[in-house]
Amino acid sequence: MKIKTEKRCGCRGEDDKQLGTHCPKLKRAGHGKWSYRLRVPDELVELVGKQYLRGSG
């Protein structure tokens, strides 16, 4: 099972696109949210109902 974690935010750049994981303020405590994504093993996909699980908070 492979798990990916990242910190992202909703800040926007000059072109009005979300910066996501590229925001320079993410180094500050309290800025952004942590999220995770994990790939479900093939033998459990039928039980879980999806290939990937993800969440944030």
Longest dimension (CA), the chain: 45
Residue pair 9/26 in contact (Cβ under 8 Å)? The answer is yes
Residue pair 40/53 in contact (Cβ under 8 Å)? The answer is yes
pLDDT band at 2, cuts 50/70/90? confident
Q: Which residues pair with 53 in a beta bridge?
A: 38
- Over residues 18-39, mean pLDDT: 95
| 7 has a pLDDT exceeding 90 | yes
As a whole number of angstroms, the distance between CA 51 and CA 2 comes to 12
- Over residues 1-18, mean pLDDT: 94
